Amino acid sequence: MAGTNSERVLLAEGPAVILVEPQLGENIGMVARAMANFGLSELRLVNPRDGWPSEKARSAAAKADHVIDGTRVFETLEEAIADLNFVYATTARERYGYKPVRAPVVAAQTLRAKFTAGEGTGILFGRERWGLTNEEVALADEIVTFPVNPAFASLNIAQAVLLMSYEWMKSGLKDLTDVAFQPLEQSPATKEQLFGLFDFVEEALDARGYFRPEGKKPKMIDNLRAVLTRRAFTEQEISILRGVFATFDRYSRKNPRGSAGAGAGKGADGADDGADGE
Amino acid sequence: MAGTNSERVLLAEGPAVILVEPQLGENIGMVARAMANFGLSELRLVNPRDGWPSEKARSAAAKADHVIDGTRVFETLEEAIADLNFVYATTARERYGYKPVRAPVVAAQTLRAKFTAGEGTGILFGRERWGLTNEEVALADEIVTFPVNPAFASLNIAQAVLLMSYEWMKSGLKDLTDVAFQPLEQSPATKEQLFGLFDFVEEALDARGYFRPEGKKPKMIDNLRAVLTRRAFTEQEISILRGVFATFDRYSRKNPRGSAGAGAGKGADGADDGADGE
């Protein structure tokens, strides 16, 4: 479920999203949610068909109340962008004009640079059914369009806002490969640890007659070591594997771990090798 | 409106999208539409709550019928991914495990490379309310997570699919700055064309007594030329500007273009300077 969490940063800045004559409150709400997901907060509506405020919008916003509460309504697009310095128009259709056409990645970087420099910025989105008029596009500085499937190009309004909001968020990342959380810390195993595993497994297999015929033993060992080397195991993984092999080595189905006769055949080596795994 | 257009390429390839226990048909339909928007086509459902086929899904898919018609249903996640080689799990929450965590950009590039090499690839998406279980995540090779607003992190399922589909599409572009259409061709103006505009405007202004007092004329010309130079006009723009100034020069409110007394005061220069503009 969506929701605010007081311990986490609520990003709420960036370009204004301007919806021109949106029809359905649900769509406005989904736009607000998409904006909130990626840190945008300023929503402006030009002449929304069903009026404002809208309970349907608030409900669809899934608790993006800070966006809904701050939404402002204007009668004309000109009024809605009067205080801004730089505005993009989004469009899926080819427009025959001289205005520069940008990819979302480029548009987001441009918006980030201008926003950081203190300019008022905005992104225009058209009506659900037929987008922006040419006259409305003419009020923008540049056009942004999405790299869509040529034969299936129509994005709904909340999806278009989502993609621009997402690119806005990405434009603020130092590194596009950044992720919000990391796997548990692991150290690559040393060769000594790996060789210890080889020895352990090979001895246990040898004791069970695995290497037959004797002449094939060198090749079989090569193959086994290739399997155990290929993944570049971490220390933790080596430990888990030792635990697994130790379990096979020490216990049987008849005398499992914890049973009276279990573990009698082996010494101290590997006794705490993490047989509980993971 | 969404729709297929027989003259345009319908992209329909790439990783399978696997929805685990989706609840609402509408969401499945919106997922199908998002996939189609960005060229994906293979949808697999694990145990959909309301069964399959679903009229609600078809309706919400907004004519992404090729995705809906090809959707396959499985009883378990294991069956759903049995034929694949490499699978991502999407998750918003931190998972405590050793699996690599990737940003969407990286995940899409990895999927593109594996898909191109002929591997079967897929992306897992969890239930609407609580995503994937740890056991389900464990079946994937790697994790992908989105760079969201920390205090407003919950994406709905169709939005998550949209973003991964969008990154998939982008991973196939030669250049991320590519756009599907370009502005009308324009050539930068030559300096000669620009100087021609200077001369024309300065003469017309001088004839009207614009440069007063006389001592300020050099500075006023400097300023005027700075304004006309700054934008690095194209040939077309120079032509439009000449048309504008020629109109001011030749016609008055009293004797507009086309009236009996109009245009008498000037010679041939600029007579076809594009006074009709744009």
Query: How confident is the model over B71-89, as pLDDT tens digits?
Result: 999 999 999 999 999 999 9
Q: Is A174 on the interface with B (CB under 8 A)?
A: no
- Nearest Cα residue in chain A from B93: A181
Query: Which residue is closest to A62 within chain B, CA to CA?
Result: B154
B130 and B56 in a common domain:
yes
Residues B222 and B99 in one domain: no
Q: CA–CA distance from A176 to each of B31, B103, B104, B200, B204 (Å)?
A: 25, 7, 9, 51, 55
- How high is the pLDDT of residue B255? 78
**Residues A27 and A141 reside in one and the same domain:** yes
**A265 lies in some domain:** yes
Does some domain include residue A220?
yes
> Is the confidence at residue B153, as pLDDT, over 80?
yes
Do residues A40 and A164 both lie within one domain?
yes
Q: Are residues B42 and B119 in the same domain?
A: yes
B237 inside domain: yes
Do B165 and B67 form a contact (C-beta atoms < 8 A)? no
Mean pLDDT of A96-120: 92
Domain, as residue range, for B97: 16-171
* Claim to verify: residue A147 and residue A188 sit in the same structural domain: no
Q: How confident is the model at residue B261 (pLDDT cuts 50, 70, 90)?
A: low
pLDDT computed for residue A263 by the predictor: 53
Q: Among A120, A143, A171, which residue terminates a domain?
A: A171
What is the pLDDT confidence band of residue B263, given thresholds at 50, 70 and 90? low
Query: Do A64 and B154 lie within an 8 Å CB cutoff?
Result: no
Beta bridge partner(s), residue B143 = B89, B101
The CATH number of the domain holding residue B69 is: 3.40.1280.10
Q: How many CB pairs under 8 A join A and B?
A: 192
Whether B127 is covered by a domain: the verdict is yes
Min Cα separation B212/chain A (Å): 33
Q: Are residues A196 and A163 in the same domain?
A: no
What does pLDDT average to over chain B?
Answer: 86
Residue A230 distance to chain B (closest CA, Å): 16
Residue A244 has pLDDT above 90, yes or no: no
With the C-alpha atoms ordered A252, A257, A259, A262, is the resulting torsion angle positive or negative? positive
Q: Is B8 on the interface with A (CB under 8 A)?
A: yes
A8 located within any domain: no
Same domain, A30 and A115: yes
From chain B residues 108-167, the ones with a CB under 8 A of any chain A CB are: 129, 143, 145-156, 158-159, 162-163, 166
One domain, residues B120 and B141: yes
B159: chain A residues, CB-CB within 8 Å: 34, 37, 158-159, 162
Distance CA A128, CA A124 (A): 13
Q: Which of residues 43-82 of A touch B (CB under 8 A)?
A: 62-64
**For residue A226, is it within any domain?**
yes
Q: Is the pLDDT of residue B267 over 90?
A: no
**Where is the domain boundary, B171, B201, B218?**
B171
Is residue A162 located within the same domain as residue A240? no
Asked whether the predicted pLDDT for residue A277 surpasses 80, the reply is: no
Residues 224-263 of B with CB under 8 A from A: 234, 236-237
Domain boundary among B120, B140, B171: B171
pLDDT tier for residue A278 given thresholds of 50, 70 and 90? very low
Report the complex ipTM.
Answer: 0.76
Lowest pLDDT segment from A73-77, A201-205, A270-274, B117-121: A270-274
User: What pLDDT, in 10s, does the model give residues B92-133?
Assistant: 877 777 788 999 999 999 999 999 999 999 999 999 888 999
Contact between B122 and B16 (Cβ < 8 Å): yes
Are residue A131 and residue A202 in the same domain, yes or no?
no
For residue A175, what is the nearest residue in chain B, using CA coordinates?
B103
Q: How many domains does chain A have?
A: 2
Residues 12-41 (B) with a CB less than 8 A from some CB of A? 33-34, 36-39
> Is B5 inside any structural domain?
no
Q: Are residues A53 and A115 in the same domain?
A: yes
* Confidence category of residue A261, pLDDT binned at 50, 70, 90: low
* Bridge partners, B87 (sequence order): B122
Residue B145 lies in a domain: yes
> Are residues B24 and B50 in contact, defined by beta-carbon separation less than 8 angstroms?
yes
Tell me how many degrees the CA angle A8-A12-A17 measures, rounded to the nearest 5: 145
